[in-house]
C-alpha cells in the first residue's frame, strides 16, 4: 500500500474543490484493503473511504487517511430460472457496469445510466433515477467491519434501503467498507419507461435495455452538468417527503408545486421547484452557484471553496424554510 502525505483531493471530488488529506492511498486490491484497515487500526486516525467522490463536499481539509477504493472485477457467479447474478468489485465504475450489462443483454439497471461514481458507493444512498433504485436489482453485498476486520454478507433487508438512504448511510454510518456488490438481472426485464422525456425518445422503435440506456444518457446530458466541465455533486438536496396534511397545506398555497405520491400516502415534493420558486436558479456568488438549467444542482464555476458552496447551501435552506416552512436536507456527505 502506497501512502502519500498531505495530498490534494481536488481531482478526487466531482465538485473539484481544493482540500488536502493528511494521508492518502489508492487501493487496488483486496490485499491492499486489508493493509489499509490494519494501518487505520494502528494509527487511530480517522478513515475516509472514497469511490468517485461524486457525492461529497469537502468543507475543510481532512485530518486523517483518505482511501480511494479502486478494486476491479465483474463476474457472472450464478443463474437460476429467473435471474443472472453478477458480482462486482467496489471500485468498478457504475456507469461502465450499466453499459456492460446492456451490451450483454442484462436488463434492470438501464435507468441508472450515467450516474457517476463507483459500484461500492451505490448502496450507500441506494442510488436512484427515472423510477428505478439500486434496491430493485440488488441481491447482496460483502462488507468489512472496519473496527474488527470481519467480512459479512448483507442481503436486501439488512441494507435497510430507503429513498437516498441505507443502513450504511444512517445507523452504521462509517462502520463498514463495502468490498463487492452482487446484482440480480431479471431474465424477463421489467422496463420502466414512463418519464416524459424517456417515452418521447423511445417512441416508434423496438425497446431494448440498451435503447433505454441511450435515451436516459441523452436526457441526463440535457439537464445535468458534466462534472468534468463544471464541478457539482448532482442534486445537492434530497426531495423532501411530506405527510398528507403538510402536502395539502402546501398545495393550497402553491397549487403549481411539483410532487410525486409515495407508498403509504406521503408525498415527495420537488426540491428543485421550491428552490427555483425562491429565485435561486442561475445565481452565482463568486465561483459558487446554482446551475442555470437545474435549481437542485450547486456548481463550482472554477475556484469555489467547499466552505463557500456550503454557505450558499445554507442560504438556500433558510430561504426555502422561510417561504415554505420545509427544511431541505443535503444529499452529499459533508466533510469538515
Residues that bind ligand EPU (CB under 6 A): 129-130, 223, 234-235, 238-239, 258, 270, 272-273, 276, 281, 294-296, 331
Position of minimal CB gap to ligand EPU? 234
Catalytic residue among 164, 180, 209, 308: 164
Q: Is 235 among the residues known to form the active site?
A: yes
Q: Which residues of 202-224 are buried (b: 16+ CB within 10 A; e: fewer)?
A: beeeeebbbbbbbbbbebbeeeb
Q: How far is the CB of 225 from ligand FAD (least distance, A)?
A: 6
- What residue 281 binds from ligand EPU, ligand FAD, none (CB within 5 to 8 A, per partner kind)? ligand EPU
Q: Is 40 in the site for ligand FAD (CB under 6 A)?
A: no
Count of alpha carbons within 13 angstroms of residue 99, beta-carbon side: 10
81-127-208 Cα angle (round to 5)? 50
209 is catalytic: no
Q: Are 110 and 88 in contact (CB under 8 A)?
A: no
Distance CA 10, CA 53 (A): 10
Partner whose binding site includes residue 272, from ligand FAD, ligand EPU, none (CB under 5 to 8 Å by kind):
ligand EPU
Minimal distance in Å, beta carbon 235 to ligand FAD?
A: 7
Stretch that binds ligand FAD, among 110-118, 192-200, 258-266, 304-312 (CB under 6 A): 110-118
Task: Decide: is 50 part of the binding site for ligand FAD (CB under 6 A).
Answer: yes
Which CB atom, from 25 or from 324, has the smaller least distance to ligand FAD? 25
**CB nearer ligand FAD, residue 250 or residue 272:** 272
52 binds ligand FAD (CB under 6 A): yes
- Catalytic site residue 18? no
Grid cell in block for residue 152? 459479512
Nearest-angstrom CA–CA distance, 36 and 33: 5
Is there a contact between 300 and 230 (Cβ–Cβ < 8 Å)?
yes
73 near 217, Cβ under 8 Å?
no
Q: Which three cell numbers stand for residue 78?
A: 450464478
Q: How far is the CB of 86 from ligand EPU (least distance, A)?
A: 23
Task: Choose the binding region for ligand FAD from 116-124, 207-215, 245-253, 310-318 (rule: CB under 6 A).
Answer: 116-124
Residues 162-181 that bind ligand FAD (CB under 6 A): 176-178
Of 14, 21, 235, 308, catalytic: 235
Which residues have CB under 8 Å from 235's CB, separation 6+? 271, 272, 296, 297, 331
- Could you tell me the smallest distance in angstroms from the CB atom of residue 325 to ligand FAD? 26
Pairing of strands 176-186, 83-89: antiparallel
Between the alpha carbon of residue 142 and those of residues 153, 285, 320, the distances in Å are: 5, 43, 40
Footprint of ligand FAD (CB under 6 A) = 14, 48-56, 69, 90, 115-118, 120-122, 124-125, 127-129, 176-178, 224, 227, 232-234, 333
Amino acid at each position: 500500500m502506497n501512502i502519500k502525505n498531505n495530498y490534494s483531493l481536488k481531482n478526487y471530488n466531482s465538485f473539484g474543490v481544493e482540500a488536502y488529506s493528511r494521508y492518502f492511498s489508492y487501493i487496488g486490491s483486496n490485499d491492499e484493503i486489508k493493509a489499509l484497515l490494519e494501518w487505520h487500526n494502528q494509527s487511530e486516525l480517522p478513515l475516509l473511504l472514497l469511490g468517485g467522490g461524486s457525492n461529497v463536499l469537502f468543507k475543510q481539509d481532512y485530518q486523517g487517511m483518505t482511501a480511494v477504493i479502486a478494486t476491479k472485477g465483474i463476474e457472472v457467479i450464478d443463474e437460476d430460472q429467473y435471474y443472472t447474478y453478477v458480482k462486482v468489485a467496489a471500485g468498478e465504475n457504475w456507469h461502465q457496469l450499466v453499459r456492460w450489462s446492456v451490451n450483454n443483454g442484462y436488463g434492470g439497471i438501464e435507468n441508472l445510466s450515467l450516474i457517476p461514481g463507483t459500484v461500492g458507493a451505490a448502496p450507500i444512498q441506494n442510488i436512484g433515477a427515472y423510477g428505478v433504485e439500486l434496491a430493485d436489482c440488488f441481491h447482496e453485498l460483502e462488507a468489512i467491519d472496519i473496527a474488527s476486520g470481519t467480512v459479512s454478507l448483507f442481503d436486501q433487508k439488512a441494507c435497510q434501503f430507503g429513498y437516498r438512504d441505507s443502513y450504511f448511510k444512517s445507523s452504521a454510518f462509517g462502520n463498514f467498507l463495502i468490498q463487492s456488490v452482487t446484482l440480480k438481472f431479471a431474465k424477463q426485464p421489467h422496463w420502466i419507461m414512463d418519464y416524459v422525456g424517456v417515452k418521447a425518445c423511445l417512441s416508434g422503435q423496438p425497446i431494448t435495455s440498451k435503447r433505454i440506456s441511450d435515451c436516459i444518457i441523452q436526457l441526463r446530458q440535457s439537464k445535468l452538468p458534466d462534472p468534468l466541465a463544471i464541478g457539482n455533486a448532482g442534486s445537492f438536496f434530497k426531495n423532501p417527503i411530506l405527510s398528507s396534511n403538510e402536502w395539502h397545506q402546501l398545495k393550497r398555497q402553491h397549487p403549481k408545486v411539483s410532487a410525486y405520491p409515495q407508498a403509504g400516502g406521503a408525498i415527495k415534493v420537488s426540491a428543485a421547484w421550491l428552490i427555483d420558486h425562491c429565485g435561486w436558479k442561475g445565481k452565482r456568488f463568486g465561483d459558487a452557484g446554482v446551475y442555470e438549467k437545474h435549481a437542485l444542482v450547486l456548481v463550482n464555476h472554477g475556484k469555489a471553496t467547499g466552505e463557500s458552496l456550503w454557505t450558499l447551501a445554507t442560504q438556500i435552506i433558510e430561504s426555502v424554510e422561510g417561504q415554505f416552512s420545509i427544511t431541505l436536507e443535503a444529499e452529499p456527505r459533508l466533510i469538515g
